[in-house]
Amino acid sequence: MSNTTKKQPMSVVKKMMIALVGGLLVGIAFLLLREQLISSGNEGAWTILNKILFQDITAEDGVSAIGLFYIIGQLFMRGLQLAIVPLVLVSLSLAMCSISSSTKLGRIAGRTLIGFFLFYVCGAFLAGIVAYAVKSAGFFNVTLPSEAVTDAATLDAFNPLATIVNAVPSNIAAAFSSNNSILAVVVVAIIIGLCMNALGEKADPLKKVLESVNEIIQLYLTFLINKVGPIAIFCLISRTFAIYGTEYLAPAAAYIVAAMVTLFVLVVTIYPIGIWVTTKMNPIKFIKKIAKVGVFGFSTNSSAACLPLNTRTCIDELGCSEEITSFVLPTGMTINMNGTTVMHMFAATFIATSAGIDVTPANLATIAFLSICAAMGCPAIPIAGTTLIVTILSGLGWTSDACMIAYALVVAINRPVEMALLPLNVIGDATVNVIVNAKEKELDKEKYNS
C-alpha cells in the first residue's frame, strides 16, 4: 500500500483570506510609496505607476492608461453582476413553485420579514447609542473643506415610499435590464413561481427549463468564485487602498473608526446571539462557516455579488433547505441592508455635527426610521448606501450648504465604511435563513454542527 497521500487543494476560504491580507498590505505599501514620491517631488513616477496598475481606464483622464488592477477587478465584478438577475429570477421562481402549501409560504415570508426588521431595529439602536456617545465626546467636530458643494447638492432627493411603486414593474424587459431593479425582479419571480405552483403539471416544461438554467448559473458562478475570485479580491483591495489619500482620511478618522468598529462588533454579537436565542444552536459554528461570506462581502462591496457564495454556504455547510434558502436570501439581498442603516446613523450624526447642528436622541430615532425605509429599497450595488444619505438629510431638513459640504466629505472618505458594512448585510441574510429553517424544522442539524 502506498504511503504517498494526495495533496489536498487549498480551500477557497484560505485563498480569499490570503488575497484579503495580501491586498491590504500591498495597497497600504503603494499608498505610502505614493505619499513618499509626491513629497519628494517625483509625482511623475507615481503617475506612470498609477496608469499602469490602478487608473480607471473608462475615466476621462484614463485614455492612455493600462490599469491592470482596475481591469481584473472590473471583469470579476461584471462577471458576478451578469448572473444576478437570472439567478434571482430562476432560484426564487423555483422556490415559489416548490412550496406546495400557501400557508407554509405565508409563514416563511412572515418569519423572514420579522427577522430582518428585528435585526434592523437592534442595529439602528446600538449604532445610535455609539454615534451619540462619540458625538458627545466631541470627536465629530471637524474642520470642513470648502470644495465640492455643488457636486453634493445636485444629488436627487428620493421618497422611500416610491420603493413600493417601483417594486411592480410596468415593463418586464426593463426590470430585467438593470441590476438596480432587483426588487422588481423579485416580484416578477414570485408571480411566476406562484402561477407555476397553481398550474401544477401544466407548468412542468417551464420548470425543467428553469432548473436547467439554474444548473448553468451555479456551474458558472462556482468557477468564477473559486478560480477568479481570490485574484480579483487581491486586485480590488490593493487598488482601493493605493488610490486613497491620507489628506481625505485624516479629518474624519473618528467617523471611519467609530463606524467600522461598531459594524464589526455588531457582526460578531447580534447575529450569534440571535442564533442562540432563537434556535439554541452553537453560534460559534455559524460564525466560523459564514466568515468567508463576510470576507467576500468586504472585498466586493456588493450584497448581490455575495448571493451565490452565501447560498452555497447556507445549503452545503449550514444545513439549510434549498427551498427556504431560495426565498430568504434573494429577499434579504433586496430588503435587508442592516449595515447600511448602521452607517446612516453615524454618517447623519457626523454630517449634522460638522455643520453645527446639535443631534438629539429624537433626531436619531427619526434617522433610524428614515434609514430603514430607504435601506429596504437600496440597490444591492457598491456605494448605493452612501448616495441614500441625502435622503435621510432631506427628510430631516438638513440640506444647508454646510450639510452638503459635510456630505461631500463623507462621499469622499466613505469607501472603507461601505466595505465594512457589507458583512453585516450578507451575514444578516444567512442568520435569518438559519433561524427560519430551524423554526420550520428543515435545518439539517448534523450538517450545521459538522
Over residues 35-71, the pLDDT tens digits come to 888 888 888 888 888 888 888 888 777 788 898 998 9
What's the CATH superfamily of 101-183+249-449?
Answer: Sodium:dicarboxylate symporter (1.10.3860.10)
C-alpha neighbours within 13 Å on the C-beta side of residue 376? 19
User: Which DSSP symbol is given to 164?
Assistant: H
Cell of 396: 430631516
Neighbours of 141 (CB within 10 A): 11
Q: Look at residue 12 in the predicted model and tell me its pLDDT.
A: 65
State the Cα angle at 369 between 367 and 375, rounded to 5°. Answer: 90
Query: Which DSSP helix (H) or strand (E) runs through 430?
Result: helix 415-439
Which ranges of 167-302 does DSSP label H, i.e. alpha helix?
172-176, 182-199, 204-223, 229-242, 246-249, 253-267, 270-279, 283-300
Residue 58 is predicted with a pLDDT of: 83
Mean pLDDT over all residues of the chain? 81
Domain spans in the chain, listed from the N-terminal domain onward:
101-183+249-449
Cell numbers standing for residue 373: 425605509
pLDDT top residue among 117 and 146: 117
Q: For residue 336, what are the contacts with CB-CB under 8 A and spacing of at least 6?
A: 116, 119, 120, 425, 428, 429, 432
What lies within 8 Å, CB to CB, of 34 at 6+ separation is: 46, 49, 50, 242
Q: Are 367 and 344 in contact (CB under 8 A)?
A: yes
Residue with cell 477557497: 12
Grid cell, residue 21, equals 491580507
pLDDT of residue 101: 62
Q: Residue for cell digits 456617545?
A: 133
Q: pLDDT tens-digit profile of 300-311? A: 777 777 888 899
- pLDDT tens for residues 5-16? 556 677 666 777
Give dist(CA 436, CA 107) in Å, integer: 9
pLDDT at 46: 85
13 vs 113, more confident: 113
> 362-383 pLDDT, tens per residue?
889 888 888 887 676 555 555 5
Task: Taking residues 11-23, report their average pLDDT.
Answer: 77
pLDDT at 266: 92
* pLDDT category of residue 184 using cuts at 50, 70 and 90: confident
